[in-house]
């Protein structure tokens, strides 16, 4: 994603989505926080180095801005769900239908017709349709009706995701992320407010070590990296020889995305980072210059829809992709999206995804907005799915620190307000360079001396760095599985002592004004391509008790300790009986801030907020919560709506400490 403020949106790119938060009332919650504060740096901040804090200035995608703080909600007895928000965008009157494999086209059309819907741009062989419900009919009711058909596997609203990132160039010397000698290089500029310029003096070696890797492997043309994004300019001189046939699910063209049909360069920028050719002596080099890109257009600058994303994943599977790059995020947990990525895993495809640009911990629930600023949120999906074939990526900078916008340097703006990368010890795997990244854009769309290139910030830029490394590893070890490639990349990461975090609101005591130390990702490391080629393939992602799939049983009482940021959550499980009333009490260390959440049977991940949680009284996985600010003591009481195994989550709100958890039947 490009640098963004905090708040939820339906899929946001790793640039920043413009969204707003509008909590709705709901049952079974008490005093739930309604948000934190977005912080972005507006281009106007840097005019003549004048520093002005603002929350209203329009900003280019992926640029963080500074803003004033939005206080946390005071304790309240009015039940509110902070995740219900207009930032969770969907296409009006449209639904995504994933069919079961045995159903015929005629049978599918019959099911669609029975609910009065029509299929939009059908494509045979994918098992996914987008259907349009006519005005006057309830889209939600139609989705429920579709879901009852024995031919339908999933039926969901057609969610919109936003691309996650934003660029400048013989040009290789400017690619500090590939070969960093501490040289000057261009920073992310946003004309006409701020001219193209240089900054530099990063730390030598704070890069992905691609040049070292190239002495062994530059990539095999048989290795294909699918880029699901806003499309690719396949006529760009750095990409024209690098693409294999893809698909335009926006224009529905039976061909790779046309070079003259793009109004946005996000996908082109991502593709250049992955695999721009480097034999011509001009332009830039991709991390895996010998690999090939499969361009799959699933949306535009306005957003990337779930329906097109599912079609794109199916297309990548059917056409032999080895890696899928997804530089976008959403606050919405999607059963269909999760299943599609799992299916890619069964076909041995590694899916590399962006952690997000909200400067938040994806292991903690947090939604934020302020005025017209884009929204920020945590957790971010697909990054936070607990699937073995997902590799989630945070952004770092040229000094081997977690990413903040470089314009802060020398501008008078405190560095701690400029951090943008999201993180998460359990939910984010590695960091990769994502600040001041030069890459390809649609020809003629870039600023400065060479309009075919531009410099952007964002986890959208960090993600293809890792997808390119995955291409190198797959080329070196064609017999390795997707999970082995992931493990090698994680084990091969460098762990520099400088990899620390700037974040103003890392906790409520403003400790975030300092450069924070801690284990902010699983590896707490920055990727190293050369190491990854020969690193261990033993498991790098053991399951933890911080999520549903490793929940520990509780009968009556448990004690434990939370330690932020390396252990934000403890999850327990308890069988409960329909119609019986239960009281769950959390008593924690004084001076700490712990929260209590309860999830219903069949929940797969903590904070499993589906589209309905943002738009209606229905939130299928959520049962109850008590999340009062400033206290470690929380209590919930509820009557179980069904019999089954419930999950009880203790969460540290940027906090930690010991606790006692008690469950009683009343």
Residue with the bigger pLDDT between 567 and 134: it is 567
Is residue 491 located within the same domain as residue 582? no
Specify whether the CB–CB gap between 646 and 570 falls below 8 A. Answer: no
Look up the pTM and report it.
Answer: 0.80
What CATH number is attached to the domain comprising 561? Answer: 2.60.120.380
Residue the block writes with tokens 């493990």: 487
pLDDT > 90 in the chain, percent: 55
Rg, Å, the chain Cα set: 23
Phi-psi sector, 579: left (phi>0), alpha (psi -120 to 50), beta: left
Provide the total of helices (H) and of strands (E) in the chain, helices listed first: 10, 33
Report for 26-35, 442-451, 657-666: range of highest mean pLDDT: 657-666
For residue 543, the model assigns a pLDDT of 85
State the Cα–Cα distance between residues 164 and 162, nearest whole angstrom.
Answer: 6
3-state secondary structure of 283: coil
Specify whether the CB–CB gap between 475 and 290 falls below 8 A. Answer: yes
pLDDT tier, 250 (very low <50, low <70, confident <90, very high otherwise):
confident
Is residue 596 located within the same domain as residue 495? no
State the Cα–Cα distance between residues 588 and 577, nearest whole angstrom.
Answer: 27
For residue 18, the model assigns a pLDDT of 24
Residue with the bigger pLDDT between 539 and 444: it is 539
What CATH number is attached to the domain comprising 18? Answer: 3.40.50.200
Least confident of 154-158, 195-199, 635-639: 195-199
Residue 77 pLDDT greater than 50, yes or no: no
For residue 588, the model assigns a pLDDT of 95
Residue 535 pLDDT greater than 90, yes or no: yes
State the Cα–Cα distance between residues 257 and 268, nearest whole angstrom.
Answer: 10
pLDDT in tens, 446-487: 876 678 898 899 999 999 999 999 999 999 999 999 999 999
The whole-number average pLDDT for the span 23-30 is: 25
Is residue 656 located within the same domain as residue 535? no
Of 490, 523, 542, which one is at a domain's C-terminal end? Answer: 542
For residue 572, the model assigns a pLDDT of 98
DSSP symbols for 481-499? -HHHHHHHHHHT-B--TT-
For residue 398, the model assigns a pLDDT of 93
For residue 103, the model assigns a pLDDT of 82
Least confident of 186-195, 256-265, 297-306, 388-397: 186-195
DSSP summary character for residue 625: E
Total domains, the chain: 2
For residue 256, the model assigns a pLDDT of 65
Of 542, 573, 593, which one is at a domain's C-terminal end? Answer: 542
Distance of CA 578 to the CA centre of its chain: 36
pLDDT tier, 376 (very low <50, low <70, confident <90, very high otherwise):
confident
What order do you get walking across the sheet with 569-576 strand by strand? 29-30, 622-626, 594-599, 644-652, 569-576, 552-553
State the Cα–Cα distance between residues 13 and 163, nearest whole angstrom.
Answer: 2
Is residue 516 located within the same domain as residue 569? no
Specify whether the CB–CB gap between 38 and 3 falls below 8 A. Answer: no
pLDDT tier, 403 (very low <50, low <70, confident <90, very high otherwise):
very high
Is residue 491 located within the same domain as residue 564? no
Strands, E assignment, 144-302:
152-163, 185-186, 198-199, 224-229, 247-248, 292-297, 299-300
Specify whether the CB–CB gap between 432 and 144 falls below 8 A. Answer: no
The whole-number average pLDDT for the span 189-198 is: 46
Is residue 78 located within the same domain as residue 147? yes
Of 317, 325, 335, the closest CA to residue 98 belongs to 335
- Angle at the Cα of 433 (from 241 to 454), degrees rounded to 5? 55
State the Cα–Cα distance between residues 118 and 97, nearest whole angstrom.
Answer: 12
The whole-number average pLDDT for the span 575-586 is: 98
Is residue 568 located within the same domain as residue 498? no
Summary mean pLDDT of the chain: 81
512's tokens: 């975030």
Specify whether the CB–CB gap between 232 and 312 falls below 8 A. Answer: no
End-to-end CA distance of the chain: 47
647's tokens: 């999950």
pLDDT tier, 213 (very low <50, low <70, confident <90, very high otherwise):
very high
Residue 285 pLDDT greater than 50, yes or no: yes
Residue with the bigger pLDDT between 168 and 396: it is 396
For residue 82, the model assigns a pLDDT of 41
pLDDT in tens, 621-649: 999 999 998 899 999 999 999 999 999 99
Q: What HEC string does 48-74 produce?
A: HHCCCCCCCCCCCCCCCCCCCCCCCCC
For residue 664, the model assigns a pLDDT of 97
Residue with the bigger pLDDT between 625 and 105: it is 625
pLDDT tier, 192 (very low <50, low <70, confident <90, very high otherwise):
very low
Specify whether the CB–CB gap between 267 and 297 falls below 8 A. Answer: yes
For residue 197, the model assigns a pLDDT of 52
State the Cα–Cα distance between residues 152 and 288, nearest whole angstrom.
Answer: 39
Residue with the bigger pLDDT between 152 and 368: it is 152
Distance of CA 623 to the CA centre of its chain: 25
For residue 616, the model assigns a pLDDT of 78
Residue 489 pLDDT greater than 60, yes or no: yes
Distances from the Cα of 54 to the Cα of 38, 57, 87, 191, 325, angstroms? 11, 7, 21, 18, 34
Of 138, 148, 128, the closest CA to residue 315 belongs to 128
State the Cα–Cα distance between residues 663 and 587, nearest whole angstrom.
Answer: 12
Residue with the bigger pLDDT between 295 and 51: it is 295
Residue with the bigger pLDDT between 631 and 167: it is 631
The whole-number average pLDDT for the span 586-600 is: 95
Strands 328-329, 350-354: pairing is unpaired
Of 348, 249, 237, 352, the closest CA to residue 297 belongs to 249
For residue 448, the model assigns a pLDDT of 62
For residue 369, the model assigns a pLDDT of 56
State the Cα–Cα distance between residues 420 and 502, nearest whole angstrom.
Answer: 9
Is residue 463 located within the same domain as residue 608? no
The whole-number average pLDDT for the span 485-494 is: 98
pLDDT in tens, 433-447: 999 999 999 988 887
State the Cα–Cα distance between residues 569 and 338, nearest whole angstrom.
Answer: 22
State the Cα–Cα distance between residues 603 and 385, nearest whole angstrom.
Answer: 12
For residue 75, the model assigns a pLDDT of 27
Distance of CA 653 to the CA centre of its chain: 20
Is residue 462 located within the same domain as residue 566? no
pLDDT tier, 87 (very low <50, low <70, confident <90, very high otherwise):
low
Catalytic residue annotation: 229, 266, 460
Backbone angles phi, psi at 633, to 5 degrees: -105, 120
For residue 417, the model assigns a pLDDT of 80
State the Cα–Cα distance between residues 630 and 638, nearest whole angstrom.
Answer: 23
Owning domain of residue 379: 1-542
Residue 11 pLDDT greater than 60, yes or no: no
Is residue 560 located within the same domain as residue 492? no
Least confident of 49-53, 434-438, 532-536: 49-53
Is residue 134 located within the same domain as residue 258? yes
For residue 561, the model assigns a pLDDT of 97
Specify whether the CB–CB gap between 276 and 283 falls below 8 A. Answer: yes
Residue with the bigger pLDDT between 503 and 454: it is 454
Backbone angles phi, psi at 460, to 5 degrees: -60, -30
570's tokens: 């403890």
- Burial (Cβ within 10 Å: 0-12, 13-18, ≥19) of residue 163: buried
Where would I find the H helices in 477-610? 482-491, 529-532
Of 542, 563, 584, which one is at a domain's C-terminal end? Answer: 542
- Burial (Cβ within 10 Å: 0-12, 13-18, ≥19) of residue 102: exposed
For residue 595, the model assigns a pLDDT of 96
504's tokens: 């103003």
Residue with the bigger pLDDT between 200 and 106: it is 106
3-state secondary structure of 512: helix
Is residue 537 located within the same domain as residue 606? no
pLDDT in tens, 324-363: 999 999 999 999 999 999 999 999 999 999 999 989 999 9
State the Cα–Cα distance between residues 198 and 251, nearest whole angstrom.
Answer: 38
For residue 281, the model assigns a pLDDT of 77
192 preceded by a cis bond (ω within 30 of 0)? yes
For residue 444, the model assigns a pLDDT of 85
Least confident of 205-219, 403-417, 445-459, 571-585: 403-417
Residue with the bigger pLDDT between 59 and 215: it is 215
For residue 102, the model assigns a pLDDT of 79
pLDDT > 70 in the chain, percent: 79
For residue 13, the model assigns a pLDDT of 44
């Amino acid at each position: 994603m490009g640098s963004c403020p905090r708040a939820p949106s339906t899929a946001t790119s790793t640039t920043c989505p413009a969204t707003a938060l509008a909590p709705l009332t709901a049952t079974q919650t008490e005093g739930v926080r309604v948000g934190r504060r977005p912080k972005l740096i507006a281009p106007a901040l840097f005019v003549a180095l004048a520093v002005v804090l603002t929350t209203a200035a329009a900003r280019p995608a992926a640029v963080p801005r500074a803003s004033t703080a939005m206080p946390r909600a005071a304790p309240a007895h009015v039940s509110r769900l902070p995740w219900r928000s207009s930032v969770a965008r969907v296409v009006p009157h449209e639904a995504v239908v994933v069919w079961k494999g045995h159903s015929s086209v005629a049978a599918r059309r019959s099911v669609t017709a029975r609910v009065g819907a029509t299929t939009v741009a059908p494509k045979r062989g994918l098992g996914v349709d987008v259907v349009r419900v006519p005005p006057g009919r309830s889209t939600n009711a139609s989705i429920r009706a579709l879901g009852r058909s024995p031919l339908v596997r999933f039926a969901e609203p057609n969610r919109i995701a936003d691309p996650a990132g934003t660029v400048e160039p013989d040009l290789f010397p400017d690619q500090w992320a590939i070969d960093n000698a501490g040289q000057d290089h261009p920073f992310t500029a946003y004309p006409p407010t701020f001219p193209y310029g240089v900054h530099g003096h990063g730390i030598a070696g704070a890069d992905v070590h691609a040049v070292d890797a190239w002495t062994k492997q530059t990539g095999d043309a048989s290795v294909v990296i699918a880029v699901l994004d806003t499309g690719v300019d396949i006529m760009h001189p750095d990409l024209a020889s690098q693409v294999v046939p893809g698909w335009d699910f926006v224009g529905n063209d039976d061909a790779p995305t046309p070079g003259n049909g793009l109004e946005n360069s996000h996908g082109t920028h991502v593709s250049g980072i992955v695999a721009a050719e480097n034999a011509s002596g001009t332009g830039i080099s991709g991390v895996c210059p010998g690999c090939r890109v499969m361009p799959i257009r699933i949306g535009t600058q306005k957003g990337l829809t779930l329906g097109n994303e599912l079609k794109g994943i199916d297309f990548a599977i059917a056409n032999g992709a080895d890696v899928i790059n997804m530089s976008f995020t959403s606050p919405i947990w999607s059963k269909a999206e999760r299943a599609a990525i799992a299916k890619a895993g069964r076909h041995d495809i590694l899916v590399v995804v962006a952690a997000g640009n909200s400067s938040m911990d994806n292991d903690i629930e947090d939604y934020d907005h302020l005025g017209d600023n884009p929204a920020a949120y945590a957790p971010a999906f697909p990054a936070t799915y607990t699937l073995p074939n997902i590799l989630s990526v945070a952004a770092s900078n040229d000094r081997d620190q977690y990413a903040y916008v470089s314009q802060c340097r020398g501008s008078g703006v405190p560095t701690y307000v400029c951090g943008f990368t999201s993180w998460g010890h359990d939910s984010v795997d590695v960091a990769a360079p994502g600040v001041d990244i030069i890459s390809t854009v649609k020809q003629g769309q870039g600023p400065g001396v060479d309009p075919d290139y531009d410099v952007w910030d964002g986890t959208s830029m960090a993600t293809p760095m890792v997808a390119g490394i995955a291409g190198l590893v797959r080329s070196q070890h064609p017999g390795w599985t997707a999970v082995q490639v992931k493990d090698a990349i994680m084990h091969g990461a460098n762990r520099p002592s400088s990899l620390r975090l700037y974040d103003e609101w890392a906790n409520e005591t403003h400790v975030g004004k300092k450069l924070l130390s801690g284990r902010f990702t699983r590896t707490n490391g920055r990727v190293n391509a050369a190491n990854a080629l020969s690193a261990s393939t033993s498991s790098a992602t053991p399951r933890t008790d911080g999520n549903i799939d490793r929940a520990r049983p509780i009968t009556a009482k448990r004690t434990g300790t939370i330690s932020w940021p390396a252990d934000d959550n403890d999850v327990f499980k308890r069988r409960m009986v329909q119609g019986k009333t239960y009281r769950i009490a959390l008593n924690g260390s004084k001076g700490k801030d712990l929260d209590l959440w309860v999830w219903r049977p069949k929940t797969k991940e903590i904070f499993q907020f589906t589209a309905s949680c943002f738009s209606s009284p229905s939130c299928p996985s959520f049962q109850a919560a008590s999340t009062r600010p400033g206290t470690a003591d929380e209590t919930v009481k509820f009557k179980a709506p069904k019999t089954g195994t419930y999950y009880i989550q203790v969460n540290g709100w940027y906090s930690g400490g010991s606790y006692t958890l008690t469950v009683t039947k009343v």
